[in-house]
Amino acid sequence: MTPYGAVATIFAIAGTSFGTWASRIPTFSNQLDLEPAQLGTILSVLALASIASFPLAGRAMDLYGPARVSKYLTWSTLASLTLTSLAPTSWFLTFSVAILGASIGALDVAMNGWGAEVERRGVKLIMSSLHAYWSLFVGIGGLVGLTAIKLGFSIEQHFLLVVLTMSGFAGLTSRVGWTGSIVKDSTPAFALPPQSLWLVGFLMFCAALTEGAIADWAAIFLHERLNLTEAMAVSGFVTFNLAMFLGRMLADDLVEQFGAIRVCWFGGLLATLGLSIVLFISSLDFVLIGFLLLGFGLSPVFPLGCARAANDPFVTPGQGLAGVATLGYGGIMLGPAIIGFVTQQSEIFFGFSLLLLCTLYQVAFSSCLKR
């Protein structure tokens, strides 16, 4: 397996893990009889654990290399997914989700650092395609979850099957050798992003908040708004992530042709249009088109932000990625919690409406990607 293949595989494992968890959130909610506020609290714990792990992961990848850290965190993510499936109570679920959030969050930082190193040593852009694999396998994780629901698999059976399958691929990546850059200088583990990366971080935050909200609440949104079955309601989430995959597979070539700023700006327009369709049209066919446009529009933002941060001239790759991840990946975890609290106070339509602010920010601040 080549280094690119190894990084892409780790992105795929991370995506599958997240998609597996997201696909069974309604099942966890029903089995444990969770109120919207309770579910929002559990998701906020996952968010806080993830955010806390970012600077530690950034420092670890500077000290030991992103490849080595990525390999260890892949196993940690699979183990925490198994633990989550065993949750018999809301308290146990909260504990296990905290471990899952920390593992996935730290892995996101480390694997982006490894991907940036592979890209720097190559001859073409690859970051968007790596994130494409993440999106594809989030969608596959959702499809497997849909199938597991239809077949009557318990959460334990479903998660164990996924973990055993992904463990085989994780074992292959562990054999791939890579000598990465190591920074032994004394740098703080906890550091805010430099001024040059603040707008980039908020751009990633908005895109990730929207992505996280769609992952965790799209099925519930469709179930309540269109009265769909639990299995059918997953279709919006799956459509969105397949669009993210296709958009990211195309993004590297588009960025080389038109530049990062133009691609991000046009994507913001598509995302705003798609989200408006989801909110204001009640036909399932049109709503799925809306999720498709939303996925295409958001697809280039995160990989472009990661590439910008990993190559910032004023900080190490670990600090740059950890800094923007504190904002960016925080969004993918905080988004579901915010939607949950707003839904508890009003209804899910108003929670989803907040996401329009995020897509409009993408339109307004795409220029921050200029290096």
Q: How confident is the model at residue 195 (pLDDT cuts 50, 70, 90)?
A: low
Calpha distance 142→139 (Å, rounded): 5
Calpha distance 219→22 (Å, rounded): 9
Predicted pLDDT at 363: 93
Predicted pLDDT at 329: 66
What ranges do the domains of the chain cover? 3-175+192-369
Q: Which region, left, alpha or beta, applies to residue 65 given φ > 0 means left and ψ of -120 to 50 means alpha?
A: left
Predicted pLDDT at 190: 52
Name the 3-class secondary structure at 361: helix
Q: Is the dihedral of CA 288, 292, 293, 299 positive or negative?
A: positive
**Eight-state DSSP code of residue 192:** P
Q: How confident is the model at residue 313 (pLDDT cuts 50, 70, 90)?
A: low
Calpha distance 138→21 (Å, rounded): 10
pLDDT digits (tens, 9 = 90+) for 113-152: 888 888 878 767 888 888 888 878 887 888 898 889 888 8
**Eight-state DSSP code of residue 87:** -
CATH superfamily of 3-175+192-369: MFS general substrate transporter like domains (1.20.1250.20)
